[in-house]
Amino acid sequence: MLDNNSFVINTFQFLNLVTNVMMDVFREIKVQTLAFVFTGLRVMGSVPQLLRPGGRVETALRETPPSCLSDPLLGRHQYIKINGNKYHYVESGSRRHQMLLCLHDFSDFWYGWRKQLRAFSGSFWVVAPDLKGFGDSEKPFLASQYSDETITQELCKFIELLLDDPKRKVVLIGHGLGGHIAWKLAERYPHLFNKFIVISTPHPNIWLKNVIKTWRNVYENRWLYECRLPLLPERNLVGNDIEIIDKRFKKSGSVIDLSSFSNFDKEAYKYTFSRPLDWRGPVNYFRNLPLSNTGALLGQQEKNIIDLDTLFLVGNIDPQVNLEMVSQSAEYVSRFIVKIIDMAGHSPHQEKPEIVNQIMNQFITGDIAYMSKWSNRMKFLK
């Protein structure tokens, strides 16, 4: 009787496993199908522009970096090798001070933290690396080199190599893609940090769940599916003389005019992202998104509560983040504060640097003992 029961249980478990595998295969086929469909729509949409005289702008050859990238007031350029991969970073301030580790967004690089590198250099040791695949850091070809586990392990080693004392704690700051990586760093290596600042970045599970919440969300985020295909996304990103950078520096619709940028800043970005090779690493991060992973998509993964004082900064006209995503992210930390930056879009630390720097400095240096009673809740600072 026991043998029969065991046989039935084992058979049921086997069938359940097979069903789950088949469902995962089906979902991955669905993702790949959407990738081809969305890419096809993009190609068809670009045909009229290609046929129109002067409709497509050739990408300019940029051989010399603009002088702002070597401005000594922003910091010192350094390199370090981790697991055979070269990491470039810029540091400002004394190494005797506490480290502020700043992780940048997609279509960004260390230069996105120029306002913080200069503002905090007197009191902190500010470290702004080019993430793997960006800027002057190594750009491996395989998407597997950009997995969450690989990236977080390498950044953990990056921190340990730079710090001379394992007891020293780091303030972790992340924006966009760098914010997603920062969430995972804080979850896996909380012993390295004592404070956590996320800018315009909900928890990765919340963000991913929102991406596939409805068919409208899927369509609005269709570029994430296009990244599943090889080579084409990188070539599209350099199209029309890197049009994606032009859009970033232009006032349109719900995006604020980034008046804190200069023409030199724009050329710094265009120089850094002027080749398809410069986009290979950034796109590979999105190629690894678990769009077909049921647990991640439905938010069924076990929550690892981060026991760090956490500050969430978000612009009030950010088209990519809403307060529902922010409030849901609060469930992943034990102490959580939100500051909404008025008239700021997706990059408040660049659009409103004076205001953001003041808030971050208060959060890092101020008395926040009151946060203990705000466990799993939000307090909006005035």
Q: Does residue 337 form part of some domain?
A: yes
Quote the CA–CA distance of 134 and 162 in Å, as a whole number: 20
Q: Is the model's pLDDT at 370 over the cut of 50?
A: no
207: closest CA among 151, 291, 101? Answer: 291
CATH number of the domain encompassing residue 98? 3.40.50.1820
How does pLDDT run across 77-122, given as a tens digit for each residue?
999 999 999 999 999 999 999 999 999 999 999 999 999 999 999 9
pLDDT of residue 53: 64
Average pLDDT over the chain reads: 85
Containing domain of residue 330, as a range? 75-209+293-380
**Position of tokens 């096809």?**
40
Q: Does residue 220 form part of some domain?
A: no
How does pLDDT run across 229-256, given as a tens digit for each residue?
999 999 999 988 788 888 887 753 344 4
Q: Does residue 30 form part of some domain?
A: no
**Residue 103, strand partner residues:** 174
* Token pair belonging to 75: 């910091």
The gap from C-alpha 303 to its chain's centroid, in whole angstroms, comes to 20
pLDDT interval class at 165 (50, 70, 90): confident
**Position of tokens 């596939």?**
212
Pairing of strands 170-175, 99-103: parallel
**Position of tokens 């879009």?**
345
Q: Does residue 317 form part of some domain?
A: yes
Mean pLDDT of 33-46: 87
How many domains in the chain?
1
Q: Does residue 327 form part of some domain?
A: yes
Q: Does residue 176 form part of some domain?
A: yes
80: closest CA among 29, 140, 155? Answer: 155
Q: Does residue 256 form part of some domain?
A: no
How does pLDDT run across 184-195, given as a tens digit for each residue?
999 999 999 999
Instruction: Give me the sign of the Cα torsion angle 230, 231, 236, 242.
Output: positive
* Token pair belonging to 212: 């596939």
Q: Does residue 369 form part of some domain?
A: yes
User: Coil, strand or helix: which one is 366?
Assistant: coil
Question: Can you say whether residue 231 is alpha, beta or left, with left for phi > 0 and alpha for psi between -120 and 50 degrees?
Answer: left
Say what the pTM is.
Answer: 0.88
Half-sphere exposure of 280 (CA within 13 A, CB side): 17
81: closest CA among 133, 138, 125? Answer: 138
Quote the CA–CA distance of 249 and 205 in Å, as a whole number: 30
* Token pair belonging to 255: 């995006």
How does pLDDT run across 129-156, given as a tens digit for each residue?
999 999 999 999 999 999 999 999 999 9
Highest mean pLDDT among 97-111, 264-278, 325-339: 97-111
